[in-house]
Amino acid sequence: MKDTFKQFGIAIAGSGSATPTATLDNDQLSQLVDTSDEWITTRTGIRMRHVATPEETLGQLAARAGRDAIAMANLSPEDIDLIVLATSTPDDLFGSAAKIQGEIGATRAVAFDLTAACSGFVFGMVTAAQFIRTGVYRNVLLIGADILSRWVDWDDRATCILFGDGAGAVVMRAREDRDRLLGFSLHSNGQKNHTLNLSQQAESRGLLTGLEVGRGQYRPITMNGREVYRFAVDKVPEVISKALYHAHLTTDAIDWLLLHQANQRIMDSVAERLEIPTEKVISNLAKYGNTSAASIPLALDEAVREGKIKAGDRIAVSGFGAGLTWGAAIFEWGI
Ligand code: ACO
Q: Tell me, what CATH number does 129's domain have?
A: 3.40.47.10
pLDDT, tens only, 75-115: 999 999 999 999 999 999 999 999 999 999 999 999 999 99
pLDDT at 6: 78
In a domain, 17, yes or no: yes
Share of the chain above pLDDT 70, in %: 99
State the CB neighbour count (10 A cutoff) for residue 258: 25
| Helix (H) or strand (E) segment spanning residue 68 | helix 58-72
DSSP codes joined into one string, 138-199: SEEEEEEEEEGGGTS-TT-HHHHTTB-EEEEEEEEEEESS---EEEEEEEE-GGGGGGEE--
Question: In this structure, are residues 146 and 114 in contact, taking their beta carbons and an 8 Å threshold?
Answer: no
Average pLDDT over residues 127-142: 97
Ligand 1 atom closest to Cα of residue 292: 51
pLDDT, tens only, 7-44: 999 999 999 999 999 999 999 999 999 999 999 999 99
Residues 6+ apart with CB under 8 A from 167: 17, 18, 19, 58, 61, 62, 64, 65, 143, 144, 145, 146, 294, 297, 298
pTM of the model: 0.96
Q: Is 230 in the pocket of ligand 1 (CB under 6 A)?
A: no
In a domain, 50, yes or no: yes
d(Cα 124, Cα 190) in Å, to the nearest integer? 19
Whether the bond between 58 and the residue before it is cis, its omega within 30 degrees of 0, is no
Residues 6+ apart with CB under 8 A from 222: 153, 159, 196, 197, 198, 199
Q: Is 232 in the pocket of ligand 1 (CB under 6 A)?
A: yes
Question: In this structure, are residues 174 and 8 in contact, taking their beta carbons and an 8 Å threshold?
Answer: yes
In a domain, 270, yes or no: no
Q: How far is the CA of 180 from the centre of ligand 1 (A)?
A: 37
* Mutation probe of ligand 1 site: the residue of 26, 44, 229, 288 with most atoms within 8 A of C-beta: 229
In a domain, 85, yes or no: yes
Quick one: how far is CA 250 from the chain centroid?
Answer: 24
pLDDT at 200: 95
Question: In this structure, are residues 263 and 45 in contact, taking their beta carbons and an 8 Å threshold?
Answer: yes
In a domain, 100, yes or no: yes
In a domain, 226, yes or no: no
pLDDT at 2 over 60: no
pLDDT at 58: 98
Question: In this structure, are residues 320 and 189 in contact, taking their beta carbons and an 8 Å threshold?
Answer: no
pLDDT, tens only, 161-183: 999 999 999 999 999 999 999 99
118 among known catalytic residues: yes
d(Cα 111, Cα 108) in Å, to the nearest integer? 10
- Using 50, 70 and 90 to split pLDDT, how confident is the model at 4? low
In a domain, 46, yes or no: yes
Q: What's phi and psi for 210, nearest 5 deg?
A: 80, 5
From 141, 246, 178, select the one nearest 7 (Cα to Cα): 178
d(Cα 219, Cα 142) in Å, to the nearest integer? 28
Average pLDDT over residues 203-229: 96
pLDDT at 21: 97
What does pLDDT average to over the chain?
Answer: 97
Q: What's phi and psi for 306, nearest 5 deg?
A: -75, -10
Q: How far is the CA of 220 from the centre of ligand 1 (A)?
A: 16
Which residue's CA is the nearest one to ligand 1's atom 24?
A: 226
Domain containing 75: what range? 9-175
In a domain, 128, yes or no: yes
Q: How many domains does the chain have?
A: 1
pLDDT at 204 over 70: yes
Q: How far is the CA of 330 from the centre of ligand 1 (A)?
A: 30
Dihedral sign (CA 331, 140, 124, 304): positive
160 among known catalytic residues: no
State the CB neighbour count (10 A cutoff) for residue 85: 31
**What is the amino acid identity at position 278?**
T
